[in-house]
A = this chain, B = another copy of it.
Amino acid sequence: MATTKLLSDAEAEQIPAVKAVFDDIRATRKSDFVNNFWRGLANDPAALKRVWEQLKAVMVADSAIDPLTKEMIYIAVSTANGCSYCIHSHTAAARAKGMTDAQHGELVSIIGLAGQTNHLVTAMQIPVDPQFEVK
């Protein structure tokens, strides 16, 4: 159960600032589906707009990293942060962008291995090698 209300389409229609963002989400994604994250965020229309604009700029716009790789990076962060909702939504997004079962299996393995070496390094408090310095 959420700690805030999730706005229905009927409720979103009543608030022009929310309706505008929901319309843009639907147009951008070419889909009628607006997922719960935006329905929760819609309680604060200014926050809804801020986060959506940012998501469009970082995840939707053309850029130097391809769309599927972006989703895999998102899954990686969300896993390390333990955000169940985010793992589900971005795994679905990655699959929609073509992630194969083999790629998902490898992604999971990389995340697991990084989790392991992160813990090993931290437990041993390994000092950074000077060779890694950015000039």
Name A residues whose Cβ lies closer than 8 Å to a Cβ of B: 1-6, 33, 35-37, 40-41, 43-44, 46-47, 50-51, 54-55, 57-59, 63-65, 69-70, 72-89, 91-92, 100-129, 131-134
Contact = CB atoms under 8 A, between A and B. Distances in A.
A59 B113 contact: yes
Contacts of A125: 1-3, 84, 87-88
A119 B47 contact: no
How many copies of this protein are present in the complex? 6
A119 B40 CA distance: 13
23 contacts: A1-B128, A2-B124, A3-B88, A3-B91, A35-B131, A44-B106, A44-B108, A46-B57, A47-B112, A51-B117, A59-B113, A65-B106, A70-B110, A77-B111, A80-B119, A84-B122, A85-B121, A87-B123, A108-B120, A112-B116, A112-B117, A113-B116, A116-B116
A108 B117 CA distance: 10
A37 B119 contact: no
Contact of A126 (B33, B37, B47): B37
A89 B120 CA distance: 14
